[in-house]
Amino acid sequence: MPERPIIPLPADTFEDRHVASLHYRRMNDWLDEAFEECRRNGGFDNLPGKGKPIEVPTEDPLQTILKNAKVPPPWIMLRQEIQTSIAYTIELMEADPNHPSIDEHIRDINRKIAHLNMQAPSLSLHRRKVDRANLKEQYEKWL
């Protein structure tokens, strides 16, 4: 005789809704009691910003979180990475203008610039691609 397939039953078949609601009610009661006890004992009296209006951010929530954590937006970190890459490539060109990896570095920099231009929030923050002839000139504009 072939084996019958196992058909999973809905989750509510296995749970006792009455027991679950009692559990959630007890958990909420415990949290309410803990909150009230903390308030009575002055646990919220010395919080920063107490009595001041709440500032509701108007910008992108992710940007707000990053700013509060003092983390620069991804496009700024990419811009810093590109600056470092350009500076390294300039040093490499000054040491040996015919170094075989210079062109690969420039291709990599241009890929990063294209990615930066997609991420930057304004056209004024976009950067031109570089080549051997304009590398130093473009680097000066990045500073």
For residue 56, what pLDDT is reported? 75
Average pLDDT over residues 101-121: 93
For residue 45, what pLDDT is reported? 85
pLDDT single digits (tens) 18-61: 777 777 777 778 888 888 898 899 888 888 888 888 877 777 77
Average pLDDT over residues 95-123: 91
- By residue count, the chain amounts to 143
| DSSP secondary structure letters along 30-92 | HHHHHHHHHHHTTTTTT-TTTTSPPPPP-S-HHHHHHHHTT---HHHHHHHHHHHHHHHHHHH
13, pLDDT greater than 60: no
pLDDT single digits (tens) 65-108: 777 888 888 888 899 999 999 999 999 999 998 888 999 999 99
For residue 69, what pLDDT is reported? 84
Q: Which residue has the higher pLDDT, 44 or 11?
A: 44
Residue 130: CB atoms within 10 Å:
22
What are the domain boundaries of the chain? 11-53, 74-142
